[in-house]
Structure 1
Amino acid sequence: MIGNAGDAVAPSIDGVAAESSAGFAAVPDSFQRLWTPHRLVYIENGQQPDGDACPFCRAPELDDEQALIVARGRTAYVLLNLYPYNSGHLLVCPYRHIATYDEASPQEVAEIGELTQTAMRVLTSTSGCHGFNIGMNQGRIAGAGIAAHLHQHVVPRWALDSNFFPIVAQTKAVPRLLGEVRDEIARAWPAGSPE
Protein backbone atom coordinates (compact mmCIF):
# COMPACT_ATOMS: atom_id res chain seq x y z
CA MET A 1 0.00 0.00 0.00
CA ILE A 2 1.38 3.37 -0.93
CA GLY A 3 0.45 6.32 1.21
CA ASN A 4 1.75 9.76 2.06
CA ALA A 5 2.49 10.53 5.67
CA GLY A 6 0.35 13.64 5.26
CA ASP A 7 -2.65 12.06 3.49
CA ALA A 8 -5.88 13.43 4.95
CA VAL A 9 -7.98 10.63 3.48
CA ALA A 10 -6.61 7.11 3.50
CA PRO A 11 -6.78 5.29 0.16
CA SER A 12 -8.77 2.06 0.03
CA ILE A 13 -8.20 -1.38 -1.39
CA ASP A 14 -11.29 -3.41 -2.35
CA GLY A 15 -13.44 -0.99 -0.33
CA VAL A 16 -11.39 -1.37 2.87
CA ALA A 17 -9.74 1.87 3.97
CA ALA A 18 -6.02 1.74 4.58
CA GLU A 19 -4.78 3.34 7.77
CA SER A 20 -3.29 6.77 7.22
CA SER A 21 0.01 7.48 8.94
CA ALA A 22 -0.88 11.16 9.38
CA GLY A 23 -1.68 10.73 13.08
CA PHE A 24 1.30 8.54 13.92
CA ALA A 25 3.90 9.75 16.39
CA ALA A 26 6.61 10.55 13.88
CA VAL A 27 7.94 13.42 11.84
CA PRO A 28 6.22 13.39 8.43
CA ASP A 29 8.59 12.99 5.49
CA SER A 30 8.34 13.03 1.71
CA PHE A 31 8.72 9.26 1.22
CA GLN A 32 5.93 7.09 -0.12
CA ARG A 33 5.51 3.65 1.46
CA LEU A 34 5.16 0.39 -0.42
CA TRP A 35 4.70 -2.27 2.24
CA THR A 36 6.74 -5.36 1.41
CA PRO A 37 6.71 -7.68 4.44
CA HIS A 38 8.19 -10.56 2.40
CA ARG A 39 11.53 -8.70 2.46
CA LEU A 40 11.76 -8.80 6.27
CA VAL A 41 13.85 -11.99 6.31
CA TYR A 42 16.32 -10.29 3.93
CA ILE A 43 16.51 -7.18 6.12
CA GLU A 44 16.84 -9.07 9.40
CA ASN A 45 19.54 -11.43 8.15
CA GLY A 46 21.42 -9.27 5.67
CA GLN A 47 21.68 -10.49 2.09
CA GLN A 48 21.74 -14.12 3.13
CA PRO A 49 18.38 -15.39 4.46
CA ASP A 50 19.91 -18.54 5.99
CA GLY A 51 22.46 -16.71 8.16
CA ASP A 52 25.95 -17.50 6.90
CA ALA A 53 24.84 -19.93 4.18
CA CYS A 54 25.49 -18.74 0.62
CA PRO A 55 22.13 -18.58 -1.22
CA PHE A 56 23.84 -19.40 -4.54
CA CYS A 57 25.41 -22.54 -3.05
CA ARG A 58 22.14 -23.53 -1.40
CA ALA A 59 19.84 -22.95 -4.40
CA PRO A 60 21.02 -25.96 -6.48
CA GLU A 61 20.30 -28.24 -3.50
CA LEU A 62 16.61 -27.21 -3.58
CA ASP A 63 13.75 -28.04 -5.90
CA ASP A 64 13.87 -25.85 -9.03
CA GLU A 65 10.52 -24.18 -8.25
CA GLN A 66 11.50 -23.47 -4.65
CA ALA A 67 14.90 -22.07 -5.67
CA LEU A 68 13.47 -20.21 -8.71
CA ILE A 69 15.95 -22.08 -10.97
CA VAL A 70 14.98 -21.99 -14.64
CA ALA A 71 17.87 -24.03 -16.11
CA ARG A 72 20.80 -26.14 -14.92
CA GLY A 73 24.01 -26.65 -16.85
CA ARG A 74 27.17 -28.64 -16.17
CA THR A 75 29.14 -25.93 -14.34
CA ALA A 76 26.58 -23.13 -13.96
CA TYR A 77 22.85 -22.57 -13.58
CA VAL A 78 20.24 -19.83 -14.10
CA LEU A 79 17.72 -18.58 -11.55
CA LEU A 80 15.41 -15.64 -11.05
CA ASN A 81 16.62 -12.80 -8.86
CA LEU A 82 14.57 -12.87 -5.66
CA TYR A 83 14.66 -9.03 -5.61
CA PRO A 84 14.38 -8.17 -9.33
CA TYR A 85 14.95 -4.84 -11.02
CA ASN A 86 12.45 -5.92 -13.71
CA SER A 87 10.23 -8.95 -14.34
CA GLY A 88 12.39 -11.77 -15.65
CA HIS A 89 15.62 -10.52 -14.01
CA LEU A 90 17.86 -13.60 -14.16
CA LEU A 91 21.16 -14.50 -12.50
CA VAL A 92 23.70 -16.86 -14.06
CA CYS A 93 25.84 -18.51 -11.36
CA PRO A 94 28.60 -21.08 -11.34
CA TYR A 95 27.98 -23.97 -8.96
CA ARG A 96 31.44 -23.44 -7.48
CA HIS A 97 31.67 -20.88 -4.70
CA ILE A 98 34.03 -18.34 -6.27
CA ALA A 99 33.92 -14.59 -5.79
CA THR A 100 35.28 -13.07 -8.99
CA TYR A 101 35.27 -13.71 -12.71
CA ASP A 102 39.03 -14.22 -12.88
CA GLU A 103 38.65 -17.26 -10.58
CA ALA A 104 36.27 -18.99 -13.03
CA SER A 105 37.60 -21.90 -15.07
CA PRO A 106 37.52 -21.72 -18.89
CA GLN A 107 34.59 -24.19 -18.80
CA GLU A 108 32.66 -21.99 -16.34
CA VAL A 109 33.33 -18.84 -18.38
CA ALA A 110 32.13 -20.57 -21.55
CA GLU A 111 28.99 -21.95 -19.93
CA ILE A 112 28.13 -18.66 -18.21
CA GLY A 113 28.33 -17.08 -21.67
CA GLU A 114 26.18 -19.80 -23.29
CA LEU A 115 23.57 -19.60 -20.53
CA THR A 116 23.50 -15.81 -20.81
CA GLN A 117 22.90 -16.00 -24.57
CA THR A 118 20.13 -18.57 -24.09
CA ALA A 119 18.59 -16.44 -21.33
CA MET A 120 18.49 -13.47 -23.70
CA ARG A 121 16.77 -15.52 -26.41
CA VAL A 122 14.25 -17.02 -23.98
CA LEU A 123 13.43 -13.67 -22.36
CA THR A 124 12.98 -12.08 -25.78
CA SER A 125 10.57 -14.81 -26.86
CA THR A 126 8.62 -14.99 -23.58
CA SER A 127 8.45 -11.32 -22.62
CA GLY A 128 9.02 -9.41 -25.84
CA CYS A 129 11.73 -7.31 -24.22
CA HIS A 130 13.57 -4.74 -26.34
CA GLY A 131 17.02 -4.90 -24.76
CA PHE A 132 19.10 -6.03 -21.79
CA ASN A 133 21.36 -4.84 -19.03
CA ILE A 134 23.98 -7.53 -18.47
CA GLY A 135 26.74 -7.32 -15.93
CA MET A 136 28.63 -8.50 -12.90
CA ASN A 137 29.40 -6.47 -9.80
CA GLN A 138 32.73 -7.75 -8.47
CA GLY A 139 33.11 -7.19 -4.74
CA ARG A 140 30.93 -5.37 -2.23
CA ILE A 141 32.60 -2.01 -3.01
CA ALA A 142 31.45 -2.43 -6.64
CA GLY A 143 27.85 -3.06 -5.61
CA ALA A 144 27.68 -6.85 -5.31
CA GLY A 145 24.89 -7.73 -2.88
CA ILE A 146 26.32 -11.22 -2.46
CA ALA A 147 29.99 -10.61 -3.11
CA ALA A 148 31.27 -14.05 -2.11
CA HIS A 149 29.62 -15.93 -5.00
CA LEU A 150 30.03 -14.86 -8.63
CA HIS A 151 26.79 -14.12 -10.47
CA GLN A 152 25.91 -12.34 -13.68
CA HIS A 153 22.75 -10.26 -13.99
CA VAL A 154 20.58 -10.52 -17.10
CA VAL A 155 17.93 -7.79 -16.82
CA PRO A 156 15.33 -7.48 -19.58
CA ARG A 157 14.35 -3.95 -20.58
CA TRP A 158 11.42 -2.51 -22.50
CA ALA A 159 11.06 0.82 -24.27
CA LEU A 160 8.50 2.01 -21.70
CA ASP A 161 9.72 0.27 -18.52
CA SER A 162 11.02 3.49 -16.98
CA ASN A 163 8.51 5.75 -15.29
CA PHE A 164 8.22 8.27 -12.48
CA PHE A 165 7.68 5.65 -9.78
CA PRO A 166 11.36 4.91 -8.90
CA ILE A 167 12.31 8.59 -9.11
CA VAL A 168 9.36 10.23 -7.40
CA ALA A 169 8.19 7.43 -5.11
CA GLN A 170 11.60 5.75 -4.67
CA THR A 171 9.80 2.48 -5.44
CA LYS A 172 10.18 -0.14 -8.18
CA ALA A 173 6.96 -1.85 -9.27
CA VAL A 174 7.37 -5.40 -10.57
CA PRO A 175 4.14 -6.44 -12.32
CA ARG A 176 4.47 -10.26 -12.32
CA LEU A 177 4.85 -12.86 -9.59
CA LEU A 178 8.20 -14.68 -9.44
CA GLY A 179 6.63 -18.16 -9.62
CA GLU A 180 4.72 -17.32 -12.80
CA VAL A 181 7.81 -15.85 -14.45
CA ARG A 182 9.96 -18.85 -13.42
CA ASP A 183 7.45 -21.33 -14.85
CA GLU A 184 7.16 -19.43 -18.14
CA ILE A 185 10.93 -19.14 -18.62
CA ALA A 186 11.62 -22.75 -17.58
CA ARG A 187 8.98 -24.03 -20.06
CA ALA A 188 10.52 -21.96 -22.87
CA TRP A 189 14.15 -22.96 -22.09
CA PRO A 190 15.44 -25.19 -24.92
CA ALA A 191 15.98 -28.82 -23.89
CA GLY A 192 19.63 -29.84 -23.68
CA SER A 193 20.91 -26.25 -23.68
CA PRO A 194 23.59 -26.72 -22.26
CA GLU A 195 23.53 -30.04 -20.40
Structure 2
Amino acid sequence: MKPTLFIMAKAPIMGRAKTRLAADIGVTHAKRHYRGMMATILRHVQDPRWLTILAVTPPASLGQIPDWQGITQIPQVSGSLSPRLAQIFARKGPTLVIGTDSPQVRSRDIAAAFQALRHTDVVFGPASDGGFWLMGANGPLSPAKFEGVRWSTEHTLADIKAQFGRVATLRTLTDIDDLQALKAYRRSHFQSR
Protein backbone atom coordinates (compact mmCIF):
# COMPACT_ATOMS: atom_id res chain seq x y z
CA MET A 1 0.00 0.00 0.00
CA LYS A 2 1.42 3.39 -1.01
CA PRO A 3 2.29 5.73 1.88
CA THR A 4 -0.30 8.47 2.24
CA LEU A 5 -0.02 12.01 3.55
CA PHE A 6 -3.23 13.67 4.68
CA ILE A 7 -3.35 17.44 5.06
CA MET A 8 -6.16 18.64 7.34
CA ALA A 9 -7.38 21.90 5.85
CA LYS A 10 -10.13 24.40 6.44
CA ALA A 11 -11.60 26.20 3.48
CA PRO A 12 -10.23 29.76 3.36
CA ILE A 13 -13.55 31.32 4.31
CA MET A 14 -13.46 34.80 5.84
CA GLY A 15 -13.64 34.49 9.61
CA ARG A 16 -13.53 30.66 9.69
CA ALA A 17 -9.80 29.90 9.33
CA LYS A 18 -7.03 31.12 11.68
CA THR A 19 -9.51 32.59 14.15
CA ARG A 20 -6.90 33.12 16.91
CA LEU A 21 -4.62 34.93 14.46
CA ALA A 22 -7.61 36.93 13.20
CA ALA A 23 -8.24 38.18 16.73
CA ASP A 24 -4.76 39.77 16.57
CA ILE A 25 -4.56 41.00 12.97
CA GLY A 26 -8.12 40.99 11.61
CA VAL A 27 -10.01 38.50 9.47
CA THR A 28 -8.83 39.83 6.11
CA HIS A 29 -5.13 39.56 6.95
CA ALA A 30 -5.65 36.20 8.69
CA LYS A 31 -7.32 34.80 5.58
CA ARG A 32 -4.46 36.11 3.41
CA HIS A 33 -1.86 34.52 5.71
CA TYR A 34 -3.78 31.25 5.80
CA ARG A 35 -3.99 31.04 2.01
CA GLY A 36 -0.27 31.79 1.75
CA MET A 37 0.65 29.16 4.36
CA MET A 38 -1.56 26.58 2.67
CA ALA A 39 -0.01 27.29 -0.74
CA THR A 40 3.51 27.01 0.72
CA ILE A 41 2.71 23.70 2.40
CA LEU A 42 1.14 22.23 -0.73
CA ARG A 43 4.09 23.33 -2.84
CA HIS A 44 6.66 21.86 -0.44
CA VAL A 45 5.14 18.53 0.62
CA GLN A 46 3.69 16.96 -2.52
CA ASP A 47 5.95 14.23 -3.84
CA PRO A 48 5.46 11.21 -6.13
CA ARG A 49 6.78 8.90 -3.39
CA TRP A 50 3.48 9.23 -1.51
CA LEU A 51 -0.18 10.07 -2.11
CA THR A 52 -1.28 13.49 -0.89
CA ILE A 53 -4.92 13.88 0.15
CA LEU A 54 -6.64 16.95 1.57
CA ALA A 55 -9.06 16.23 4.42
CA VAL A 56 -11.25 19.32 4.20
CA THR A 57 -13.83 21.14 6.24
CA PRO A 58 -16.54 22.18 5.75
CA PRO A 59 -17.57 19.25 3.54
CA ALA A 60 -19.43 21.63 1.21
CA SER A 61 -16.04 23.03 0.14
CA LEU A 62 -15.01 19.74 -1.54
CA GLY A 63 -13.90 20.58 -5.06
CA GLN A 64 -14.88 24.24 -4.62
CA ILE A 65 -11.56 25.85 -3.65
CA PRO A 66 -9.55 26.90 -6.75
CA ASP A 67 -6.24 26.66 -4.82
CA TRP A 68 -6.93 22.95 -4.17
CA GLN A 69 -7.77 21.87 -7.71
CA GLY A 70 -5.99 18.72 -8.87
CA ILE A 71 -5.52 17.35 -5.34
CA THR A 72 -7.60 14.44 -4.05
CA GLN A 73 -10.00 15.63 -1.36
CA ILE A 74 -12.10 13.92 1.31
CA PRO A 75 -14.42 15.49 3.88
CA GLN A 76 -13.43 15.62 7.53
CA VAL A 77 -15.90 14.16 9.99
CA SER A 78 -17.42 16.58 12.46
CA GLY A 79 -16.39 16.95 16.08
CA SER A 80 -13.10 17.52 17.86
CA LEU A 81 -9.71 16.49 16.57
CA SER A 82 -10.22 13.04 18.13
CA PRO A 83 -12.78 11.69 15.61
CA ARG A 84 -11.08 13.49 12.74
CA LEU A 85 -7.73 11.79 13.44
CA ALA A 86 -9.48 8.48 14.13
CA GLN A 87 -11.04 8.70 10.65
CA ILE A 88 -7.67 9.19 8.98
CA PHE A 89 -5.83 6.53 10.97
CA ALA A 90 -8.57 3.93 10.40
CA ARG A 91 -6.86 3.06 7.11
CA LYS A 92 -4.20 0.40 6.72
CA GLY A 93 -0.61 1.19 5.89
CA PRO A 94 1.84 4.03 6.53
CA THR A 95 -0.17 7.18 7.12
CA LEU A 96 0.85 10.72 8.04
CA VAL A 97 -1.29 13.71 8.88
CA ILE A 98 -0.27 17.35 9.04
CA GLY A 99 -2.21 20.55 9.44
CA THR A 100 -1.79 23.91 7.80
CA ASP A 101 -0.18 25.79 10.70
CA SER A 102 3.53 25.09 10.02
CA PRO A 103 4.67 26.43 6.65
CA GLN A 104 8.28 25.38 7.44
CA VAL A 105 7.45 21.72 6.68
CA ARG A 106 9.22 20.29 3.62
CA SER A 107 9.11 17.06 1.66
CA ARG A 108 12.30 15.94 3.44
CA ASP A 109 10.34 16.07 6.73
CA ILE A 110 7.61 13.91 5.24
CA ALA A 111 10.18 11.45 3.84
CA ALA A 112 11.89 11.29 7.25
CA ALA A 113 8.56 10.50 8.92
CA PHE A 114 7.78 7.66 6.51
CA GLN A 115 11.33 6.36 7.01
CA ALA A 116 10.83 6.41 10.80
CA LEU A 117 7.68 4.30 10.45
CA ARG A 118 9.84 1.47 9.13
CA HIS A 119 11.37 1.12 12.60
CA THR A 120 8.81 2.44 15.08
CA ASP A 121 5.09 2.43 15.77
CA VAL A 122 4.35 6.14 15.70
CA VAL A 123 6.15 9.34 14.69
CA PHE A 124 5.48 12.91 15.78
CA GLY A 125 6.67 16.30 14.65
CA PRO A 126 6.57 18.43 17.80
CA ALA A 127 5.34 22.01 17.71
CA SER A 128 6.96 24.66 19.88
CA ASP A 129 3.62 25.32 21.63
CA GLY A 130 3.35 21.80 23.07
CA GLY A 131 1.28 20.35 20.25
CA PHE A 132 2.42 18.60 17.09
CA TRP A 133 2.59 19.51 13.42
CA LEU A 134 2.78 15.89 12.21
CA MET A 135 1.57 12.52 13.40
CA GLY A 136 2.25 9.28 11.60
CA ALA A 137 1.49 5.60 12.19
CA ASN A 138 1.20 2.29 10.45
CA GLY A 139 -2.57 1.98 10.60
CA PRO A 140 -5.11 1.12 11.50
CA LEU A 141 -5.19 2.69 14.96
CA SER A 142 -7.98 2.28 17.51
CA PRO A 143 -10.14 5.40 17.95
CA ALA A 144 -9.43 5.05 21.70
CA LYS A 145 -5.88 6.29 21.04
CA PHE A 146 -7.31 9.77 20.47
CA GLU A 147 -9.47 9.98 23.61
CA GLY A 148 -8.52 11.97 26.68
CA VAL A 149 -6.18 14.31 24.78
CA ARG A 150 -6.25 17.96 25.80
CA TRP A 151 -6.31 19.42 22.29
CA SER A 152 -4.92 22.89 21.55
CA THR A 153 -3.00 23.10 24.83
CA GLU A 154 0.64 22.83 25.88
CA HIS A 155 -0.22 19.25 26.99
CA THR A 156 -1.41 17.95 23.61
CA LEU A 157 1.76 16.17 22.48
CA ALA A 158 2.47 14.67 25.91
CA ASP A 159 -1.13 13.42 26.20
CA ILE A 160 -1.15 11.68 22.83
CA LYS A 161 2.38 10.28 23.12
CA ALA A 162 1.29 8.62 26.37
CA GLN A 163 -1.13 6.49 24.30
CA PHE A 164 1.72 4.77 22.46
CA GLY A 165 4.81 2.70 23.11
CA ARG A 166 7.77 3.42 20.86
CA VAL A 167 7.65 6.79 19.17
CA ALA A 168 10.04 8.65 16.91
CA THR A 169 10.36 12.43 16.95
CA LEU A 170 11.14 14.81 14.09
CA ARG A 171 12.36 18.40 14.32
CA THR A 172 10.32 20.97 16.25
CA LEU A 173 8.46 23.56 14.16
CA THR A 174 6.34 26.59 14.97
CA ASP A 175 2.55 26.45 14.67
CA ILE A 176 1.35 29.84 13.51
CA ASP A 177 -1.81 30.28 15.55
CA ASP A 178 -1.47 33.87 16.80
CA LEU A 179 0.51 37.07 16.23
CA GLN A 180 3.32 36.06 18.60
CA ALA A 181 3.88 32.81 16.66
CA LEU A 182 3.70 34.66 13.33
CA LYS A 183 6.40 37.08 14.50
CA ALA A 184 8.59 34.20 15.73
CA TYR A 185 8.19 32.45 12.37
CA ARG A 186 9.09 35.61 10.45
CA ARG A 187 12.22 36.12 12.59
CA SER A 188 13.42 32.55 12.09
CA HIS A 189 12.50 32.54 8.40
CA PHE A 190 14.40 35.81 7.84
CA GLN A 191 17.47 34.53 9.75
CA SER A 192 17.60 31.29 7.73
CA ARG A 193 17.83 33.11 4.41
Q: Same fold (TM over 0.5)?
A: no
Q: TM-score, normalised by structure 2?
A: 0.25
Q: Which has the higher strand share?
A: 2
Q: TM-score, normalised by structure 1?
A: 0.25
Larger Rg: 1
